[in-house]
Structure 1
Amino acid sequence: MKKFCKLMVDNMAVLVLLIAVLAIAYPPSLTWVGPWVSIMLGIVMFGMGMTLKFDDFRMLAKRPWEIFLGALAQFTIMPAAAYLLVKVFNLPPELAIGVVLVGTCPGGTASNVIAYLAKGDVALSVAMTMTTTLLAPIVTPTITWLLAGAWVDISLTKMMISIAQMVLAPVILGLLMNEFCGGFVKKVTPVLPLVSVVTIVLLVGGVVALSASKLLTHGLLIAGVVVCHNALGLICGYAFGKLFRLTEPKVRSLSIEVGMQNSGLAASLALMYFSPAAAIPGAIFSVWHNISGSIVANYYNRKDAANEEVVPAKTV
């Protein structure tokens, strides 16, 4: 089972691509996912909560400055980059709101894995994900309203409640489950990554199926915007960390945390409050940031290997 789970997790990007192809080729096969999107996202966040303990929150008190910088970078760089790209590419409102939603969402849980692979500060990555997730019910709707309120009608209060229900409540429930039913959680922990992968894959497939016609028309354009958005997050996040003279492992974690979004939340909110087309950026981001994250981790590992090479000095 462990080998099967690892195989599924390692090949999540491939699975997402395959289900996206199926969704485009035959949309009815996955349109049934639509009404279940919010529940699926809740399952993923519940799984995240089950990996946390109350002791983890002590980290917030021990490293307030670094975590503050991470949250600040997360909720300024990505929203600003989203707004810039929307203007540069002159996207129509239904697609523009989707890009902005991706930018205003908290960091994704996959960032913690990528931070580990990139030899970053994993504890800081987890703390930043936890912090931005807890802030999301207030910050995400507020920034979305400020940036996109002129394009579409946004119900600020309703969106706050939805994010609290889909993200905050499941995380807290998972945390309580881990704290008070640790034995059970320990038994099911090995299959949690598999549950998350299957849920995310289905979520992306459902979004693609519901917006297949729009995706065929605007797919390449949105893919280009998503790649640029992700790259800006990774590069600017790295520069932000260097600006404040953080150590290399911390800078790597900050960069990855900023560049990798909870795009599943963005897609879910788009389907709930706007249109299937608005969910396209979130769906594509879900695929791409896992690919780019792997590339970045590989780059850092190669860089470290090159730096560790010792060239013997010549004796005279």
Structure 2
Amino acid sequence: MQSSMALSIGLPAALCIIMLGLGLSLRLSDFVRVLARPWPVLVGLFCQILLLPVLCFVLVSLSNLPPAICVGMMLLAASPGGTSAALYTHLARGDVALSISLAAVTSLLSIVTLPIIANLSLLAFYGQDGAVRLELRQVLQIFAIAIVPALIGIYIHKRYPAFAERLNRPVKLLATLFLVVVVLIALVGQWRLLATWGLTVGALALAFSLTSVAVGYWVPRMLRIERGQAVALSMSISLHNAALVIALAMSEHMLNNPEMAIPPAAYGVIAYVVVGVFVWRLNRGQGAAGQDAPRAA
């Protein structure tokens, strides 16, 4: 099985450009505010690093799927937030700075957490341990896509604020159109895979996607985190870096098991649809209620 071009090449390249546009609406003071109030980041880390892997383990244990599929799902649950989380946060009028910050922290921590979850999953489903490591090069790629373009956009905003303001609306429209195209391309590219595994992996990926969205949004809300920050946490927690897991599973220098790449490939399609519907519901609900609106990032 080969990963979709939309996920492996087209999505990171285009998101790099869009992240530049998102940075145009951010200020360094936004990140200072996030660091000064670390509670939302800590809640996000708890949900993504501890709570989600536990819930995913329960799901796969009840599914009776092959061990490789179960390990692939666990790798997905342990993976860092995807770079597209900030884009969806922007569309849902959430705290983009918080989304980017959480993606950066989880990407860094994944150097340790992802191999640990991988080894524990191999032990649980295969009955034997194995050595797995996440290469520094892959983590640097995540930072290059998510952080560097946004920092360039912040710099442009600081030097040319009027120009950055004029670009804000066109970039948001471009982001919306691009996400529609990406979802369609991903659906076409993974259609044969989804048709083959639709009743098993597809159902499991859908259940985990819905669980991730619900945990990412409602756990922070129950802990009295404001709506805009809860939106950012939900996007970052529910949109995992599926392409990273696919690379980890298929690389001959790491797991070298293409079957483990099936769950993240299916999830990479389903999660975009689920989160897209969630964003639409959030925006529709906010427009109807006209209250509890997020603060501008």
Please report the TM-score for the alignment, with normalisation by the length of structure 2: 0.71
The answer to whether the Cα contact below 8 Å between 1:200 and 1:264 also exists between their aligned partners in 2 is no
Paired residue for 1:124, among 72, 85, 98? 98
Unaligned runs of 5+ in 1: 1-26, 310-316
Alignment partner for residue 131 of structure 2, among 155, 168, 175? Answer: 155
| Cα shift at 1:297 | 1.1
Q: Tell me if structure 2 keeps the 8 A contact 1:70–1:254.
A: yes
Equivalent residue for 1:235, pick from 190, 211, 214? 214
The structural deviation recorded for 1:227 is 0.5
% identity of equivalent residues: 26
Alignment-derived partner of residue 65 in structure 2? 91
Alignment match of 2:226 (pick from 238, 247, 252): 247
Q: Is 2:201 aligned against 1:222?
A: yes
Secondary structure in 1 matching 2:105: helix
Count residues with an aligned counterpart.
271
Q: Unpaired runs of 5+ in structure 2?
A: 165-170, 292-297
Which residue pairs with 2:290 in the alignment? 308
Which residue number in structure 1 is paired with residue 295 of structure 2? none
Structure with the greater alpha carbon radius of gyration: 1
Q: Secondary structure at the match of 1:279?
A: helix
Supply the RMSD in Å over aligned alpha carbons. Answer: 4.0
Task: State the match for 2:167 in structure 1.
Answer: none
Query: Residues 59 and 134 (structure 1 numbering): CA distance in 2 closer, same or farther, change over 3 Å?
Result: farther
How far the C-alpha of 1:69 sits from its partner, in A, is 1.4
Q: 1:235 to 1:200 in 2, by over 3 A?
A: closer
Q: Which amino acid aligns with 1:257?
A: S
Q: Distance in 2 between matches of 1:167 and 1:201?
A: 23
Match of 1:4 in 2: none
Normalized against structure 1, the TM-score is what?
A: 0.67
Which AA in structure 1 matches 2:261? A
Picking from 252, 256, 276, the partner of 1:274 is 256
Q: Distance in 2 between matches of 1:305 and 1:178?
A: 28
Question: Contact (CA 8 Å) 2:75, 2:117: kept in 1 or not?
Answer: no
SS of residue in 2 equivalent to 1:156: coil
- 1:167 correspondence with 2:149: no
Residue 133 (structure 1) shift: 1.8
Stretch of structure 1 that moved more, 123-132 or 165-174: 165-174
1:115–1:122: 8 Å Cα contact kept in structure 2?
yes
**Could you report, residue by residue, the CA deviation over 1:139-171 in whole angstroms, capped at 9, with x for unpaired residues?**
2222232333333553233x3546435435776
Aligned runs of 1:2-21 on 2, under 5 Å? none
Distance 1:110 1:280 in 2: 20
- Alpha-carbon contact 1:267-1:279 (below 8 Å) kept: yes
The 5 Å alignment of 1:292-307 reads 292-307=274-289
- Write out aligned runs for 1:34-183 (5 A): 55=28, 58-152=32-126, 153-157=129-133, 159-161=134-136, 163-164=138-139, 166-168=141-143
Deviations 1:256-295 (A, max 9, x none): 2211111111111111123222111111111111111111
Q: Which residue in the other structure is 1:283 paired with?
A: 265
**What CA distance in whole angstroms lies between the structure 1 residues aligned with 2:276 and 2:12?**
25
- Structure 1 Cα separation of the partners of residues 94 and 156 of structure 2: 31
**Deviates most, 66-75 or 51-60:** 51-60
The 2-side partners of 1:81 and 1:163 are apart by 26
* Aligned partner letter, 2:81: G
- Alpha-carbon distance between aligned partners in 2 of 1:154 and 1:201, rounded to the nearest angstrom: 37
- Cα distance, 1:200 vs structure 2: 9.8
The amino acid of 2:112's aligned partner reads I
Q: Is the 1:106–1:132 contact (alpha carbons within 8 Å) kept by the matching residues of 2? A: yes
Write the distance in 2 (CA, Å) between the matches of 1:161 and 1:172. 16
For 1:164, the aligned partner's letter is V
Matched, 1:263 2:242: yes
CA positional deviation for 1:203: 8.8
For residue 79 of structure 1, what is the amino acid of its counterpart?
P
- CA offset at residue 175 of structure 1? 7.6
Higher helix share: 1
The farther-off stretch of 227-236 and 280-289 is: 280-289
Distance 1:258 1:156, change over 3 A: same
1: CA distance, partners of 2:287 / 2:145: 40
Mean Cα displacement is larger for which, 293-302 or 62-71? 62-71
